[in-house]
Each structure stands twice: as C-alpha cells, then as structure tokens.
Structure 1
Amino acid sequence: MKKPIKFFIITVTLVLVGYNSVYFESLDVKNTAKNAGVFNSVEFVDQFMGAKLPNLPATDANELIGSLELDLVGFTAENGRKMGISNDYYFVVEGTGEVQAIEDEDVILSLIGNSKNKIRIATDFIFGNTIREATAIANIGDFQNTMDFNAISVALNDKVRTTIVPSFSKEVNIKDTVYFKGGVKVNTKNPTLKNLRVIPLILNIE
C-alpha cells in the first residue's frame, strides 16, 4: 500500500474515532446529573425528625442511671451503641424532671421518680456524634464517603441549636417540669454518671 493512501486511511480512522468519543451536553443536563448524586444531609435529618423521631425507642433516664451504676461495663456492652474501637457508648434516653438550675450551657433536671438522679440538658456547646450514634440514624457502610456520614452529625446538631433549644431556653424557669428525649454518651473509662449530659431531640415544658 502506497504511503499517501495509508496515511489517508489512518487519518480518516482517527477522525471517526475522535468524533464518536466526543459528545456535547447542555450545562443544565450536566448539573442535574451531578446534583442527582449529591447527598443532602439537611433533608435527610428533616425526614428523620418528622417521620421517625416521635416513635424512636428510648431508655428511661432513671433506669439507665440505675443500670449503669449496677453494671457499667456489662450494660453498656449489651445495650449501648458505639462506633469502632472506643470507650464511648451511646443511648437514646427519655424522662421527666424538675428544673433545678439554669446554667450557661445546660439546664439541670432532678428526675421525677428519683430526685437524687440528675440530668443535664444541653442548651449550648452542642457538637459531636452523640445524636447520630445514639439514634442509629445512619451507618457508615451505607455511605460512599465519610464526608456525607459526618455531615449528618453537623445537620443534627444544627437542628437542635436552631429549632429545639431556642424556644425552650426562652421559656424554661426554675421548678418547671420538663419532658425530654435525646442522645447521651457514656464513657466507660470516665462515666460521670452523676453528670450525664443529654443532647435533646424533644423538649416539652409541662
């Protein structure tokens, strides 16, 4: 085969391959496809708060404290949730208490049914993974990356700070009776059972 003809055939082939390999799409289509795969942590949390929170199982606060005092290691291992290798265990807890003190970052309740048991309700300095882990709202294996998984904790904490705590903090007074449901972290190496701090998901002044 003569060289000019050979080069012509090769050139035509490359042009055809290149043409079939390149395609154009509108920016709207590209953005739609991209957004379809984006995880929306705020929407995820809103759905949880609206649909699952009211019926979320919880351990009675007095029972939790009593069980932890009786068998800290055994009870946490059998009933708590934890992430990976850690001494931190998480629970969803609920109860009713009388307001004993209102501090800068917490409201302290004396639990109805056993006034010796005290619980701190967090009203500021709310961060970490307590709610996500306690509620089992998500498992890390269900997400393609840790960024999306961690975004759930951020969205949960923001929800508490912006929609649950403000109205409660404005209205609560000493001696008020408060129903609460939320997440609590127990560290088996430093349990501080007299000072458990609940990140609230529900707060009702009764």
Structure 2
Amino acid sequence: MISRQKIWISRFAVAIGILVLLYLFPLFRVVSLDDANEASAKASAAKFDPIVFVDQFWNDKLLASKANAVDALELVNEIQANPGKVRQARGRQVGLSQSYFLTVTGVGRVVSVEKNSVGLAITDQSDEAEVVLESGILFGNTVRDGTGLLDVNEFQNTQDFNSISTELNRRIEADVLPTLRDIATSGTEIEFSGCAQVSDEATDLNPLRVVPFFVEAK
C-alpha cells in the first residue's frame, strides 16, 4: 500500500514538473492576429530593398557627386603627361585591391560609335577616343565603389551590398544607356559623368573606359 502510494506521489510530481516546464517553455505560443501582422510588417520593413535604396541614393547622392568628380579634360592631360601619377593624384582604392577608381565628369566629342561603347575626344586637337563610355550590358562594381559614397561596413551583410551593384547597373542600363545610344552621333558633344576602374594603367587609361551615370547632349 505504501509502495503504491509512493508510486502515485512520484507520478504526480513528474506531472507537475512537466506542467511547469511547458509553462516556462511552451511548445507553441498563441498570439493575436494584430500582433502577428505587426511582427510581419516589422520583418518586411527590416528587409533590405536595393531598388528603394538605389532610388534614394541616385537622387540624393550619386548625381550630386558630379560636383566633386575629376574634370575629364584635366584628367586626360594628366594621363598624357604622366600616367604613373594618376593613381596617387586622383585614384581611390577599395580594401587591398591593386585596382583604383576614378569619378570623372566633362564634355567630349563623339568620334566613334561601337556596339557596346561610344568613343569621345576630350581635347580639341584630338580625333581619337580619349574616353570611352560603356553602352552595353554592365557587370561589376565600378559605380558602387567608384564614388566612395558607399561603405560595406554600413550594411548588415555583403549580399545587401552586392545587390546595390546589381541594381545600379540595371538602373544605368535602363535610364542612361538608351539616352547615350540615341545622342551618340559623330561630332555630337556629350556631357557625361561616370566612374572608371583602372586595373592596368597601360591599357585602362588610354582610352579611359567610363561607366556613365549621367549623359546629355550639349
């Protein structure tokens, strides 16, 4: 009798213990529909949207960066005089990369139109392309990294940061390059702003290849 009583007491204690654990650590939690919707809205708001980000960045910062860009005529003259000094005088490096970036603005005269590029003469006496504006499908991080306006450390993860490059390239392909192709006829003067990545000065400076984020016929 005593043994059976002990068994029941033990079972009761175990049941109480289980109930306490379930109370402290429930298998599921019931929340109101309003609370669930609010949590979902907060999660959606926290998710990075590259389209929204680039739209604001484009209007608030990228176009305004033209004011601090290197003048194309000055840059071409420096390249012709001493290309080895361009990195130190004008370039900006990202991380440990040996490449460097330039943000350039100016006016050039169309001297060549290819399938994926438009060649501009910058100096009055030249009939050769001194700057080449890319007009085909874009890859890479030239515009994202070229201006120095964006820092990877300001983003939660590299996926968000890389998505900015993709969206910037898409935006340029959709909004800038069609205009460039429309106005690119021989002899037309084009005002432009854009970024260039220089990996090999022997080939990347003359002509300087630029990804434009602004173009306009003069």
TM-score bin (small chain): 0.7 to 0.9
Structure 2: runs of 5+ lacking an equivalent = 1-5
The answer to whether residue 107 in structure 2 is matched with residue 96 in structure 1 is yes
- In the other structure, the counterpart of 2:77 is 66
- In the other structure, the counterpart of 1:185 is 197
- Shift of residue 43 of structure 1? 1.4
- In the other structure, the counterpart of 2:167 is 155
- In the other structure, the counterpart of 2:176 is 164
- In the other structure, the counterpart of 2:116 is 105
Once the two structures are superposed, the pairs formed by residues 3-152 of structure 1 within 5 Å of their partners are 3-19=10-26, 22-24=29-31, 26=33, 28-56=37-65, 57-113=68-124, 115=126, 118-152=130-164
Q: Percent identity?
A: 27
- Shift of residue 25 of structure 1? 5.4
CA distance in 2, matches of 1:114, 1:141: 45
The answer to whether residue 217 in structure 2 is matched with residue 205 in structure 1 is yes
- Supply the AA of the counterpart residue of 2:156: Q
| Structure having the higher Rg | 2
8 Å CA contact 2:76, 2:130 repeated in 1: no
- Shift of residue 74 of structure 1? 4.5
The normalised TM-score by structure 2 is 0.83
For 1:32-71, what per-residue CA distance to the aligned partner results, in whole angstroms no more than 9, with x for missing partners?
Answer: 1221211111111111221223331100112223334555
CA distance in 2, matches of 1:86, 1:54: 26
1:201 is paired with a residue of what secondary structure?
strand
8 Å CA contact 2:83, 2:201 repeated in 1: no
For 1:53-103, what per-residue CA distance to the aligned partner results, in whole angstroms no more than 9, with x for missing partners?
Answer: 333110011222333455545441453222222221001101111111111
Aligned length: 206
Q: Which moved more, 1:19-28 or 1:29-38?
A: 19-28
The normalised TM-score by structure 1 is 0.87
- Supply the AA of the counterpart residue of 1:83: V
Structure 1 residues 75 and 25, CA, compared in 2 at 3 Å: closer, same or farther? Answer: farther
8 Å CA contact 1:107, 1:122 repeated in 2: yes
CA distance in 2, matches of 1:44, 1:177: 32
- Shift of residue 18 of structure 1? 3.4
**What's the RMSD between the two structures over aligned residues?**
2.4
